[in-house]
Amino acid sequence: MDESRRIWRDRVERWHKSGHSARVFAEQEGINAGTLYSWSRRLGMKRSEHRQQRSEKATLPALLPVVVASPGATAPSPGAALEIVFPDGAVVRVPPTFDEETLARVVRALRGTR
């Protein structure tokens, strides 16, 4: 299998497993959604095989530990930045005047790498 085909097979598999639409996944990868669909068809990889897994995942609650403040810490001021620390150590610092849509895209992108 040539390298390009192997790269696209891996990419299409990750898309199918991600649960994201082609548009969202392609945006995260910096590729064209039409090209993603084209390679999926060319490789004979059907998205429906992963839909069952995705629907099963959707029924399970996703619980993550949340630490608001360490014991004895003072409450942040109203203008303080928000900090999100992922289990793998990735940190996202969000300024008080953040754009919710952009933050949602960043969090989805970080989750997609897991």
Each domain of the chain, given as residue ranges in start order, spans 3-59, 64-114
84 bridge partner residues: 92
Confidence at residue 67, expressed as pLDDT on a 0 to 100 scale: 63
With cut-offs at 50, 70 and 90, classify the pLDDT of residue 19.
Answer: confident
106, with CB counted inside 10 A (0-12, 13-18, 19+), is: middle
92 bridge partner residues: 84
Confidence at residue 6, expressed as pLDDT on a 0 to 100 scale: 92
Q: CA end-to-end span of the chain, whole Å? A: 26
Amino acid at site 104? A
With cut-offs at 50, 70 and 90, classify the pLDDT of residue 56.
Answer: very low
Which tens digit of pLDDT belongs to each residue from 71-114? 666 665 666 777 777 766 777 788 878 888 888 887 777 776 54
